[in-house]
Amino acid sequence: MSMNCCDNPAVNKKQRREAIGMEQTTLNVQGMSCGHCVKAVEGSVGELGGVHSVKVHLEDNKVDVKYDAAKVTLDQIKETIDDQGYDVV
Ligand SMILES: [Cu+2]
Write the pLDDT tens digit of every residue in 20-31. 679 999 999 999
**Distance between CA 79 and CA 73 in Å, rounded?**
10
pLDDT of 4 over the 60 cut: no
Half-sphere exposure of 81 (CA within 13 A, CB side): 28
Cα 2 to middle of ligand 1, angstroms? 63
Do the beta carbons of residue 55 and residue 66 sit within 8 Å?
no
Given this model, what pLDDT does residue 3 score?
Answer: 59
Cα 37 to middle of ligand 1, angstroms? 4
Cα 22 to middle of ligand 1, angstroms? 29
pLDDT band at 14 (very low <50, low <70, confident <90, very high): low
Cα 58 to middle of ligand 1, angstroms? 10
Do the beta carbons of residue 63 and residue 55 sit within 8 Å?
yes
Cα 31 to middle of ligand 1, angstroms? 8
Domains of the chain, by residue range, sit at 23-88
pLDDT of 16 over the 90 cut: no
Which residues are found with C-beta within 5 Å of the ion, ligand 1? 33-34, 36-37
- E-state strands within the chain: 22-30, 51-57, 62-68, 87-88
pLDDT tens track for 29-71: 999 999 999 999 999 999 999 999 999 999 999 999 999 999 9
Looking at domain 23-88, its CATH architecture is 2-Layer Sandwich (3.30)
